[in-house]
A and B are shown apart, each in its own frame.
Chain A
Amino acid sequence: GEDVEQSLFLSVREGDSSVINCTYTDSSSTYLYWYKQEPGAGLQLLTYIFSNMDMKQDQRLTVLLNKKDKHLSLRIADTQTGDSAIYFCAEKGGDTGRRALTFGSGTRLQVQP
């Protein structure tokens, strides 16, 4: 079945850029998403990109999509301590029989002051 993979952990210093990577296997993916989960909270939708785009920028967030390599990344510029959280990558397949998103296991971002 479809799979989404992420590295488990990333540590950066405050003010640096963070890059969280994700790979997926479904070549028919239509939309790809980034969610953020803070401790004790639900997942918060950060941004998403349609599969015919290769980049999307939203304030400090930049999403890059390499559809050929099935690679998605989230860059956070000027990372702050408040960005410390778990970041989930998710994809929605083009197969109309698949209704829900497939989530990765999450990348824990630790921002050191």
Chain B
Amino acid sequence: DARVTQTPRDKVTEMGQEVTMRCQPILGHNTVFWYRQTMMQGLELLAYFRNRAPLDDSGMPKDRFSAEMPDATLATLKIQPSEPRDSAVYFCASGLVVSGTGENSEQYFGPGTRLTVT
């Protein structure tokens, strides 16, 4: 049963601390997405990778957030320094996109990391 996995599931940290969230996409998928979900803003796209290359990180605050894919089986989202307004659930999703017009973009979501910054 192929699934996207995320660690940790819950993280409580103090303001100013570094936070690293990890995601293992489904084997064989070539796209990875990071989303943030809050009550106020709903679901926001933070970053999008295709074949490990970042294609869109326009939704991500550049001064404190960074996203990487060290290899095809690992994606990381780092916040340094963290702030209380970063408290949210962070979802990773992966998918398989085949180049061409009208490409389907099914995304399979992980269970999320609930981040609380005090």
B43 within 8 A of A: yes
Cβ of B42 within 8 Å of any chain A Cβ, yes or no, is yes
Question: Which of chain B's residues 87-117 have a Cβ closer than 8 Å to chain A?
Answer: 91, 93, 101-112
In the complex, what distance in Å separates the CA atom of A39 from the CA atom of B63? 32
- Which residue of A is nearest B3, CB measured? A42
Indicate the size class of the contact surface on chain B. Answer: 20 to 34
List, in ascending order, chain A residues with CB within 8 A of B111's CB: 41-42
Residues of A within 8 A of B43 (CB): 43, 88, 103, 106
Q: Are A103 and B106 in contact (CB under 8 A)?
A: no
Q: Specify which of B56, B91, B101, B108 is in contact with A45 (CB 8 Å cutoff).
A: B108
Nearest-neighbor residue (CB-CB) of B9 within chain A: A40
Contacts of A41 in B (CB 8 A): 111-112
Complex contacts, A103 vs chain B, CB 8 Å: 42-43
Tell me the complex Cα distance, A103–B45, Å. 9
Contact (Cβ within 8 A) A106 B104: no
A15 interfacial by beta-carbon distance below 8 Å: no
Q: Are A105's CB and B42's CB within 8 A?
A: yes
Closest to B42 in A: A105
Asked if B12 is an interface residue, CB under 8 A from chain A, the answer is no
Cα distance A33–B101 when bound, in Å?
A: 18
Is B50 in the interface zone, CB < 8 Å from A?
yes
Say whether A100 contacts B42, CB under 8 Å: no
B105 — which chain A residues lie within 8 A by C-beta? Answer: 31, 92, 99-101
Question: Does A101 lie within 8 Å of B107, measured CB to CB?
Answer: yes
Q: How far is the CA of A99 from the CA of B54 in the complex (A)?
A: 11
Q: Which of A42, A45, A96, A106 contacts B106 (CB 8 A)?
A: A45
- Taking Cβ atoms with an 8 Å cutoff, the residues of B that contact A are 4, 33, 42-43, 45, 48, 50, 55-56, 91, 93, 101-112
Q: Rank and list the top 9 A-B pairs by shortest CB-CB distance, nearest first.
A: A42-B109, A43-B109, A30-B102, A105-B42, A103-B43, A92-B105, A100-B45, A42-B111, A100-B48
Query: Could you show 23 A-B contacts with beta carbons less than 8 Å apart?
Result: A30-B102, A30-B103, A31-B102, A31-B104, A31-B105, A41-B111, A42-B112, A43-B91, A45-B109, A48-B104, A48-B106, A88-B43, A92-B105, A94-B101, A100-B33, A100-B56, A100-B105, A101-B107, A103-B42, A103-B43, A105-B42, A106-B42, A106-B43
